[in-house]
Amino acid sequence: MFQPKPGTKADPARRWALSDRAFFAHGACHILAGVCLHDWQHGGLWAERIIPNGPNPRNHIYVTDGTLCLDYRGTTSRDRLLAWNATRMTQRIPGWRGTVALVRFDLLDTRALNARKMRGPDQYLHDPIARARAFLASRHAPSPSLSPKNPPRRAGLPKAAHPLMSAP
């Protein structure tokens, strides 16, 4: 798994120079999710946030229909994304646990993001919204059930899907 070198996230030029996948994996997943929700307004998608229990500041935000998810890796099942995240985090932080929560704030609003210790779109070196749109257009002709052309069925309320995750 790719890890940016120490200091990369604090240096706007080095952060911006990351590959798209690394950029959206390490500190801009909320922008990618926000653009997806904004541009694909068909009502069958929502964002969820994996919030670490305890002092670890890392979180992850992705878009889902309850069954499938979209993040920087592409489209996968929600169960697989949660299991992958829990496995990777426990490898790096023994005893790690997280909570899956529905995102109830605007993922493209700087004030709402700053209140949760995330950068707003206007706090990057260049325009991360344009970068997210280009990334989605070039890499993600997502699976047919999770795309702007084919709205997914709403699969119900979010539920925890991994023993290291808990529902809110």
pLDDT in tens, 25-79: 988 999 999 999 999 876 789 999 999 988 776 789 999 999 999 999 988 999 9
128 close to 28: Cβ distance less than 8 angstroms: yes
What pTM did the predictor assign?
A: 0.83
Alpha carbon 3 to chain centroid, angstroms:
16
Nearest to 42 by CA among 161, 142, 121, 167: 142
Report the distance separating Cα 49 and Cα 102, nearest Å: 6
Confirm if 49 and 82 have CB atoms less than 8 A apart.
Answer: no
* Per-domain residue ranges of the chain: 12-166
Residue carrying the six token digits 């990618």: 32
In single-letter form, the type of residue at position 35 comes to V
More confident residue, 42 or 88: 88
Q: Please, is 16 exposed, middle or buried when counting C-beta atoms within 10 Å of its C-beta (0-12, 13-18, 19+)? A: middle
